[in-house]
Amino acid sequence: MKFQRLIQAVYYQPWSITHDAWMDIHRLIKPHLSGAALPEVKSDGMDFFGNALPEMKIEFDTATIPIIGTLVRHASLIEKACGCVSYEDIKEDLKEAMATPGVTKIRLVIDSPGGQCVGNIECAQAIAEAAQFFDVEAVSDGQICSAAYALAAGARRILITPSAIVGSVGAFVAIEDSSKAADMAGIRIDVIKDGDVKGAGIPGTALSPDQRDDIQRMVTKYADMFRSHVDEYRIIDGSNLNGSCFVGTDAEASGFVDGIIADIEADLEFEEAEMEDDCDDECEEDCEEPLTKSEQPIHINITNSIAPATEQKKKVVIKRGEDGRMIGIEES
């Protein structure tokens, strides 16, 4: 792993992540800045405890893509072993699922506090585009926060368990000001530069007003891209897109999610059992289930999802009510 790339990403680039998750990353990396050795990766596809890393699985007509951990761009083996997820891997899984004959539904199982801004919007757009042709849904029994919510926003449905956390829309950069510590140690850092904002964040220095404004400009740009993407696919009051997190029914009431489910594993097993029953029964090609929401949230089978894989996929537009929930789809 290029440790320099990791330092630059964590300390000098904007993140869309919960503050506690960023602090966890900071605590892990900081000792290595003083020369501590990085752990070795024992095997590709395994974490440091010897557990297999989550992988996409395809069963019947459904591809299940796990998005578990901190989101980063071009994650290395050691980053994956530490619990990171690569945007590139998500897009590759998405591409494979869409190219697999018979697959009509893509389920994103998400438990992520967010991650890097760089690479996020491209991955989010890829998911949203897939949802125009496939029945894409996002589910979580943990977190769909910050950059992870950008990925989920373009899905046809977002379903969570009662204790799951959703939101934290925004971006930030944390720059350590160690100038006073350098002064107390009798150290003066002389930065020779060409450009008013060059050298921002060098240890032992403080940000100048111009440097801070330049970093704020970049952070605001990423945050604006994030909110614009959410606004395109969800109906959420702008006052809630301020970094706040919402739990369970509060997330549903605020428009961040479409429904509450008791257990994502049980829900998946129920759908698989239904698929097995469907395989045994003859069904007319034009049969549909109504796009309605019952008292207890359930999954809705989209018309396109039952079309034979050999047919041309039809692009659809998701229709949402004033509360942000999906009320139907129509072909475009």
Contacts of residue 65, defined as CB under 8 A and 6 or more positions apart, other chains included, come to 56, 90, 93, 94, 97, 106, 107, 108, 109
Does the pLDDT value for residue 76 go beyond 80? Answer: no
Q: Find the mean pLDDT for residues 94-98.
A: 95
Q: Are 174 and 11 in contact (CB under 8 A)?
A: yes
Structural domain total, the chain = 1
pLDDT in tens, 153-207: 999 999 999 999 999 999 998 888 889 998 999 999 898 999 999 988 888 999 9
The more confident residue out of 87 and 30 is 87
Does the pLDDT value for residue 286 go beyond 60? Answer: no
Does the pLDDT value for residue 282 go beyond 50? Answer: no
Tokens linked to 51:
């557990």
Predicted local confidence at residue 80, as pLDDT = 74
pLDDT band at 297 (very low <50, low <70, confident <90, very high): very low
Q: How many CA atoms lie within 13 A of 91 on its CB side?
A: 17
Predicted local confidence at residue 275, as pLDDT = 54
In a domain, 109, yes or no: yes
Predicted local confidence at residue 79, as pLDDT = 72
pLDDT in tens, 201-249: 888 999 999 999 999 999 999 999 999 999 999 999 999 999 999 999 9
In a domain, 198, yes or no: no
Does the pLDDT value for residue 301 go beyond 50? Answer: no
Q: The pTM is what?
A: 0.77
The more confident residue out of 291 and 12 is 12
* Residue labelled with tokens 């109504």: 290
Tell me the range of 27-36, 142-151, 308-317 where mean pLDDT is highest: 142-151
Predicted local confidence at residue 56, as pLDDT = 93
pLDDT band at 89 (very low <50, low <70, confident <90, very high): very high
DSSP β-bridge partners for residue 134 = none
Predicted local confidence at residue 98, as pLDDT = 95
Tokens linked to 56:
């996409």
Predicted local confidence at residue 105, as pLDDT = 96
Q: Are 131 and 155 in contact (CB under 8 A)?
A: yes
Three-state SS at 160? strand
- Cα–Cα distance between 284 and 271 in angstroms, integer? 19
Contacts of residue 312, defined as CB under 8 A and 6 or more positions apart, other chains included, come to none
In a domain, 300, yes or no: yes
Predicted local confidence at residue 295, as pLDDT = 38
pLDDT > 70: what percent of the chain?
A: 67
pLDDT band at 324 (very low <50, low <70, confident <90, very high): low
pLDDT in tens, 1-56: 345 556 666 666 777 888 777 777 766 666 665 555 555 555 566 655 557 778 89
pLDDT, averaged across the chain = 80
Which domain covers residue 162, as residue numbers? 3-172+219-331
In a domain, 58, yes or no: yes
Predicted local confidence at residue 290, as pLDDT = 43
Predicted local confidence at residue 315, as pLDDT = 63
In a domain, 177, yes or no: no
pLDDT band at 291 (very low <50, low <70, confident <90, very high): very low
What is the CATH classification number for the domain harbouring 7?
3.90.226.10
Does the pLDDT value for residue 78 go beyond 80? Answer: no
